[in-house]
Amino acid sequence: MAYEVTLIPGDGTGPELMDATRRALEATGVGFKWDIQHAGLDVYERGGDPLPAATLDSLRRTRVGIKGPTTTPIGAGFRSVNVALRKELDLYMCLRPCKAYAGVRTRFPELDIVIVRENTEDVYVGVEFQEGSEGASRMIELLAELGATVRPDSGLSVKPISRFGSRRIVEAAFDYARHNGRRKVTAVHKANIMKFTDGLFLELAREVASENPTIEFEEIIVDNLANQLMQWPADYDVLVLPNLYGDVISDLGAGMIGGLGFAGGANIGEHAAVFEATHGSAPKYAGLGKVNPTALMLSGVYMLRHLEELDAANRLERALAEVIRKGERVTFDLKEDRNDPTAVGTAEFADAVIEELNT
């Protein structure tokens, strides 16, 4: 049986990374029927919508997508395609495993954590009032009526964290832990300061933990986590976090495993899942065929697991790990010296992974 999957090449280095990843996924022997759809800067510049309705329709139909990075113009232009996709399809769970593979330069070779970031709430909802605007002054007046003093020259961002959103993300973290043989879930918060937002998140985390007694539960304040993760990385397993802390800690995790080139991920909802690397479109390398496809290939591994193709997922992950461990046919970012002339390109890295898959 072939799985129908929406394939979005993206822009910048996206298409070359996607080409490499698609070949590696096909080499696992799993059958795919790709529905190629577009999103990002290239389609926008051709006079189109950066997130065409056809792309969303395809994802609603196939329920599974793999996506290359897409550029978000700074200042003018269009809003982030990624944020829009998460919103349109209610992809509430952002899954970012951070595992250090042998052969990668890292001071944290034992790191093997999974970050589960809430994707739809928190300060990312975009409810903001610009300093000096009518909205800001009315909000400040209202706050004054409610007994809260805020300086009149303030900008405001609203941070909604709901009972519903907190419960479903913590449940998703426990489900992930159970299905993937993980031993512990740690809820990350700053409830000592934000009692009614992070406090609510923590209350729901405790509630869900009590319903899942076979998995260990721990809670930690986010600043302490940043410290502890550096000192005792092996103490952590699955982390569940509200949106903003999840964003920051994901990049910390990516840095600890050797950089963005190794950080795969997924955005998962009730009705669809979109697999993509944590990194962006790296536009300065676009068209050069030299960037590292590991992060997108790992996203492909997570997609295979989502499709319950566990054997293919394990084989592809092992092949990738072997190519990285050998360190011969790898891209420039994996070499000691980034100008090492023996570094191979994106396509040759994929060839090495495919050969390893077949051995």
| Count of Cβ atoms closer than 10 Å to residue 41 Cβ | 21
Out of 21, 28, 62, 71, which residue is the one contacting ligand NAD (CB under 6 A)?
A: 71
Query: 64-67 and 2-8 as β-strands: parallel, antiparallel, unpaired?
Result: parallel
* 72 belongs to the binding site for ligand NAD (CB under 6 A): yes
Task: Give the nearest distance from C-beta 72 to ligand NAD in angstroms.
Answer: 3
Binding mask 82-121 for ligand NAD (x = CB under 6 A): x---------------------------------------
- In the residue annotation, 190 being an active-site residue is answered as yes
Minimal distance, residue 8 CB to ligand NAD, in Å? 10
Kindly name the residue from 237, 247, 302, 333 that is annotated as catalytic.
Answer: 247
Task: Name the token pair of 217.
Answer: 């539960």
Measured distance CA(38)–CA(151) in Å, rounded? 45
If binding is defined by CB under 6 A, does position 276 make contact with ligand NAD?
yes
Q: Among 58, 243, 281, 299, which residue sits at the site for ligand NAD (rule: CB under 6 A)?
A: 281
Q: How many of the chain's residues bind ligand NAD (CB under 6 A)? A: 18
Binding of residue 198 to ligand NAD (CB under 6 A): no
CA–CA separation, 260 vs 262, rounded Å?
Answer: 5
Q: Exposed, middle or buried: residue 5 (CB in 10 Å: 0-12, 13-18, 19+)?
A: buried
Does residue 258 touch ligand NAD according to CB under 6 A? no
- Could you tell me the two tokens for 16? 């070359």
To ligand NAD, the closest distance from the beta carbon of 86 in angstroms equals 10
In order, the DSSP letters of 311-357 are: HHHHHHHHHHHHHHHH-SS--GGGSSSTT-TT---HHHHHHHHHHHH
Is-catalytic flag, 124? yes
What type of residue sits at position 106? Answer: T
112 counts as catalytic: no
Binding residues for ligand NAD, rule: CB under 6 A, are 69-72, 82, 260-261, 276, 279-284, 291-292, 295, 333
Active site residues: 124, 190, 223, 247
